[in-house]
Amino acid sequence: MFDLKRYSEAELESGKFTKLWHGPQHPGITGNMSLELTLSGDDVVECKTHVGYLHRGFEKLMERRTYIQNFPVVCRIAVPEPTFNEYMYAAAVEELAGIEVPERAEWLRCLNLEMMRLASFLMWLGGACGSFGMSTVYQWTVTHRDYMLDLFEEMTGARIYHMYISPGGVRAPLPDGFSERALSVMNGIEKLLYEIERVALNNHIFKMRSQDLGIIDPEMVDPYGIVGPNARACGFKRDVRKDAPYLVYDQLDFEVITADKSDAYTRTLVRYQEMHQCISLIRQMLEQMPTKGSFHADLPNVLHWKIPAGQTYVKSECTRGEYGYFLVSDGSEYLRRVTIRGPSYTHAIAVMEKLVVGVNIADVAGLMVSLHTYPPEIER
């Protein structure tokens, strides 16, 4: 292992080090962000994260749009899992406006969120294996994610940006025969997951490269605000779905998955088990879901929406951890301020800059993917 203490600050000027930009133009699913690496030979000595390549100023744009105009905007914030944004925005607006959501809509929302989680994890698993040199797994998972997107298309009418969860409920009920088709896709994905376990997770090369890579110390978790699978991999039983159940999660049967050491391999394993958990949750929901009843609350004319003044913070568990919206309303037709709290904010900047020191340059992409960072939720 590389010993950082041997080098002092002054020696960085000595010409023994190379400065290398990792990204933003980079193959792999690390996203459009860059790491400014200082290298000694093959090992990283120092790292600075640069973000902002995807900054669109969403928080500013949303202040300029009425509440209903924001509904198609929010899903564009994070492309692998737009549904979480839709749900958080809808939940925040409903809480401030005092809208009661029908029970059936809650089930449909929950189903949509879990399907999104599974689709996002499939993409991630492919990327994680791909960045350690196993592109075959990437081919499989992206294809099966596409079958999930077909389900979304059937459910919501769109592949990527669904705009399904609107304030007050959801836009449409499930089409006929949806559960059979969904269950057959779930069976296919479950089979695929066992295959991936055999091919990738038990693969000697994958283990060699990812074990002991980027270990998160349990003591780091609180000061750095690490959440989600990254924190659960080092033993913290923290999951918003259990801690503060939203939607119908308190009626579903699942356990928080933890492990005892948060290195890249264990984080992959935790997410792998969460994918199985997703499938089980989707099956439970398809079984228990009410098939009758209204799926959208009666709302006044959207043109005249004025939300009472107030402020709230709502959160949910997205694939990467706690995802939250802080919404401030001043009683007018426009919201006053919205802050989107994404887990990548700390994972990709403070945590990444700490973990990457001492890592071989070839493993940097693998480490970054194992933290499951996603740049647009940092800069919005």
Partner 1 sequence: MNKQDKNPGNNRENLIKLENAGLTAEEQQLFCDAVPVPYEPYSLEFVERFHNWIRANSLWVLAFGTGCGAIELNPLMTSRFDANRFGVMMRPTPRQASVLIVAGYSSVKTLKRIIRSYEQMQGPKFVIGLGICTINGGMYYDSYNTINCLDRYIPVDLYITGCMPRPEALLAGFMELKRKIKAGECDGANRYVKDFDWYKANQKKVIKKWDMPDYNW
Partner 2 sequence: MGYAGLQLVNTMFMQELCERMTRQFDCDQVMHQKDDLSFLRVDRDRLESALMYLKTHEGFVHLSFVTVIDYIEDGFFRLNYMLYNYDKATNIGVQVDITRENPSMHSIHHLWAQGWTYQRELKEMYGIDFPGSPRVDEEFVLEGWDGIPPMLREFDTAKFCEDRFAKRDGRESQDIKQTMRDNLYPERGES
Q: Are 56 and 74 in contact (CB under 8 A)?
A: no
Q: Which residues are CB-contacts of 56 (< 8 A; sequence separation ≥ 6)? A: 76, 380
CA–CA separation, 84 vs 77, rounded Å? 10
Answer with the entry of partner 1, partner 2, none that 324 interacts with (C-beta below 5 to 8 A by kind).
partner 2
How big is the CA angle at 257 (ends 273 and 287), to the nearest 5 degrees? 70
Going by C-alpha positions, the residue among 155, 90, 102, 110 that lies closest to residue 292 is: 102
By beta-carbon proximity to partner 1, the closer residue of 75 and 233 is 75
For the chain, give the number of residues.
380
By beta-carbon proximity to partner 2, the closer residue of 15 and 223 is 223
In the complex, which residues of this chain contact partner 2 (CB under 8 A)?
Answer: 51-52, 55, 57, 59-61, 64, 66, 69, 95, 220, 222-225, 227, 236, 238, 243-245, 250, 301-303, 310-313, 315, 322, 324, 326, 328, 336-337, 339, 341, 345-346, 349-351, 378-379
Least distance in angstroms from the C-beta of 77 to partner 2: 14
By beta-carbon proximity to partner 2, the closer residue of 19 and 60 is 60
Least distance in angstroms from the C-beta of 192 to partner 1: 13
Q: Are 378 and 344 in contact (CB under 8 A)?
A: yes
Answer with the entry of partner 1, partner 2, none that 27 interacts with (C-beta below 5 to 8 A by kind).
partner 1
The type of residue at 38 is T
In the complex, which residues of this chain contact partner 1 (CB under 8 A)?
Answer: 24-27, 29, 31-32, 52-57, 60-61, 64, 72-73, 76, 79-80, 123, 138-139, 142-143, 145-146, 149, 159-161, 376
CA–CA separation, 121 vs 119, rounded Å? 5
Beta partners for residue 315, in sequence order: 324
Three-state DSSP class for 337? strand
Least distance in angstroms from the C-beta of 349 to partner 1: 16
Q: Are 36 and 306 in contact (CB under 8 A)?
A: no
Least distance in angstroms from the C-beta of 274 to partner 1: 21
Answer with the entry of partner 2, partner 1, none that 97 interacts with (C-beta below 5 to 8 A by kind).
none
